[in-house]
Amino acid sequence: MKILVLNAGSSSQKSCLYEIADEALPTQAPKPVWEGKVNWTQDHGVAEIEVKTAIGATVENSISGESPEAHLAYMLNTLTDGATKVINQLSEIDLVGHRVVHGGQNYRESVVITEDVKKAIANLSNLAPEHNPAALAGIKAIENILGKVIQIAVFDTAFHRTIPDAAAIYPGPYEWVEQGIRRYGFHGISHQYCSGRAAQILGKDLASLRLITCHLGNGCSLAAIKNSRSIDTTMGFTPLEGLMMGSRSGSIDPGILIHLLRYCNYSVEKLNDVLNKASGLRGISGVSSDMRQVRKAIAQNNTRAQLAWDMYVHRLCSNIGAMLASLGGLDALVFTAGVGENSPGIRQAACDAFGFLGLKIDQEKNQQQPVDEDIATPDSAVRVLVIHTQEDWAIAQQCWQLQQNSNLLDF
Ligand code: ADP
């Protein structure tokens, strides 16, 4: 079975093609046979296209003019043409899976995309303005380019549907609950994938484990997972809540917002920009939203960069503590995404804070770029895993499972 995955960002569309046997899913993520990316640069209308295949063929091109859909069509044509050809016709693609950031309260599982689903994704755009419209554009482009292929929406919010009301509802007036103002949580595809992979690495039944998964990328969130389900998470109604992030503030006193609006001449747009783009590591360090740059600046005795690091660690630890309370204990702490997978210093600092639980990491293993590995010492009371998140593969898996359960291709 050939499954094409599309992962839309605010200024990019990443895509990959998996070939999976019809009978069974592989136990570990296979390499996609083809990967493509369109990046829309600041220059209006310029698309940078990069394509590579599993056997190392590549295509790179910049296209100016034309529509984003034409750019996507160009990228998809490299599946059937030229050096990166991996299939004869686009009609060989059986299913197309899309990452959709916000599924609201109604979409609690992956679903086949219908007119109603498209309307719902569009209606939820004001809750995920950077992402839902981009996913919708991808869905419409595939309809036009591939015709009648089955498309599936895999929602980032779906994994968190099991969070109990006591953890999901905000203590405002009760009308908020009726208006759908509640914790949805994000990065669900990654948290779910990492929980399954953690059970695999530990050789344990996922249902028997209490896990905290730390997704630390540009956006950062934690999930508390018990009985295979998300029972708490740090992101909320929007992806702004919770941890300090690359350029997002995470949780702050809501009174600050009232103060800025009332006394400092902030408009709603300015508030939005500051909280999303000029805060977090970037705002405090003044250097960058990228942890690597912050580290470099610390090595040059930049005190604001040091403060940004210390705050990031403090907030990471205090939020891990909150997840710990929701779980009532911990079998494994999991680190994933750009910072989680690549920063031994952040892992060490977070683990040091939980030494009192009997959690100990092997300092050598921590330094040796672990991938899908347990880096706790043998006598540690809690396992510590570093897992390479594979969101695209998780989307392909969910498409494959939906097809198995509903025989989509028989219609
Ligand atoms: P996204 O959240 O956009 O998917 P990633 O998960 O790829 O992003 O994470 C990107 C971030 O990972 C970068 O901004 C950078 O801060 C961090 N990162 C990547 N490599 C390293 C590294 N070697 N050390 C520390 N941080 C890293």
Position 5 confidence tier, pLDDT thresholds 50, 70, 90: very high
Could you give the CA distance from residue 230 to residue 185 in angstroms, rounded to a whole number? 10
pLDDT (mean) for 11-18: 94
pLDDT (mean) for 30-46: 87
Q: Specify the ligand 1 atom closest to the Cα of 220.
A: 2
Closest by CA to 77, choosing from 64, 89, 93, is 89
Pocket test for ligand 1, best of 99, 214, 292 (most atoms within 8 A of CB): 292
Could you give the CA distance from residue 153 to residue 117 in angstroms, rounded to a whole number? 8
| Per-residue b or e along 234-270, where b marks 16 or more CB atoms closer than 10 Å to that residue's CB | bbbbbbbbbbbbbbbbbbeeeeeeeebeeeeebeeee
Active-site annotation holder among 43, 81, 94, 156: 156
Q: Ligand 1 pocket by C-beta < 6 Å: which residues?
A: 217-219, 246, 290-292, 337-339, 342-343
What pLDDT is recorded for position 188? Answer: 97
**290 alpha carbon – ligand 1 mean position (Å):** 7
Closest by CA to 372, choosing from 401, 332, 328, 345, is 332
pLDDT tens by residue, 348-369: 999 999 999 999 999 999 999 9
pLDDT tens by residue, 97-142: 999 999 999 898 999 999 999 999 999 998 888 889 999 999 999 9
What pLDDT is recorded for position 292? Answer: 97
What pLDDT is recorded for position 150? Answer: 96
pLDDT tens by residue, 142-179: 999 999 899 999 999 999 999 999 999 999 999 999 99
Of 41 and 13, which is predicted with more confidence?
13
Which residues does 238 contact at the CB level (< 8 Å), separation at least 6? 127, 128
Q: In this structure, which residue's CA is closest to atom 23 in ligand 1? A: 342
Q: Specify the ligand 1 atom closest to the Cα of 219.
A: 2
Is 352 an active-site residue?
no
Crossing angle of helices 188-202 and 391-406, in 10° steps, is 90
Q: Please state the pTM of the whole predicted model.
A: 0.95
Which residues does 368 contact at the CB level (< 8 Å), separation at least 6? none
Closest by CA to 351, choosing from 325, 328, 374, is 374
Which pairs from 365-370 meet CB under 8 Å and 24+ separation?
369/342
Position 247 confidence tier, pLDDT thresholds 50, 70, 90: very high
**277 alpha carbon – ligand 1 mean position (Å):** 16
Q: What is the mean pLDDT of the chain?
A: 95
**218 alpha carbon – ligand 1 mean position (Å):** 6
pLDDT tens by residue, 209-242: 999 999 999 999 999 999 999 999 999 999 999 9
**294 alpha carbon – ligand 1 mean position (Å):** 12
